[in-house]
Structure 1
């Protein structure tokens, strides 16, 4: 018996839920031959504000979780992502035009990258902290801490999307991912994985749409503490840094995908003095 295929409705991912864009706007994603694939939501400035509120509320609890607990939650996400490997690889292949084999390799690399960053969660204090020599009867410690709410703007590729969010949340930050173009399709399937994982709602928020529209708003938003603009055109980066200067926003771009520097870039150093013998 013939039947109508049930088409997937693509929305945003904010605070663990899948709301429609406040604007009601969408954009079209097609394959290399021009065949229609999906209509992801085109996020608006109001959607960004909602995501910031959710990210700020979630960040404190996520940062207070033990490093071991954060690592275990991230490992579990990798397990769940592997369970949907065929579906996501098919979406990567259809939307990017690469062969199914290449798409599967990219997804496996994304999972491996996620696990690699998860493994850093309980090693950050040893790698980036220190006991400092001081002239006096004190202990002096430098302790790395999460910065807060970070917006990321990766290039239009699923692996780049993973590379942007994994290092940010490993240290206890919350993140707002501005996902452009066709990579919105596998990114929203990844959001379905997050929604059923142990990750607290609001730690990762995903807005699909246009970098040209969303990134300037993120750069000027006073409650976003940092940005990764690796996916932004080089000619447009200076304007974003100027927009983020008012609240001393840390704005970085990275040439290396897999490096602990992507974690440390969005951390702060807290120095503690404690009298000896007290």
Structure 2
């Protein structure tokens, strides 16, 4: 199984266009040892030619241009992206669908019923795309039932609901439903190797922990280092868990959780621009390294 990290940043990327926090300011000035990151998205394939895209960030055009395996190979119009699986309906995971409107066939989109509702009401991308390439929607099961995707050979997908909030624009923002946010297990049928992907993760529920335990690679939420990171940065008073993200540090945090997970690769993705782990020289980054936890970056390639 081949996994390509197209974007490793949280909403706004790194540096964020209007942010002058400690990290963004120093990166622009060349004073931080780290790399720029676009907004989070990955692609997965079993053959290196036909790819399943996870989420479509506002940065999708630049991400695909930097990803040669997705480029046209036959005919005037073509792509290696055969289908799209949406984790949620957040703006930073769906706006890129508008950039894909030039598709010569309907976009094959797999998502939960709740995400479909959001994308036909509060943020009606599906309705808008009907005037361009159109959308072919495929519901994903949340009961652990496996499914496969035509033209994506040798991969079996499982999805489950995560505890989270719908986006602020959603008609049911304050009325959470299963499927507002999902975790995904991708299994290569021929080898049994598994990826667990959950870029937005606010609670380690039993089924989440079970999926992490069974995975060969865990690619999960790395948004914040600590609960009050945003207030410490002088940005807002919202805490990490209020925003649906489990921080890395502290009791019950992501570092402690991953310390009990046997996966050969443990990687953080969806990293907010305020997170000190973006600076490769910080004590926080060294703590991750000592724990055997990697930090995703744009262009990162993983083979299972």
Tell me, yes or no, whether TM beats 0.5. no
Looking at secondary structure, tell me which structure has more strand per residue: 2
Q: Which has the larger radius of gyration?
A: 1
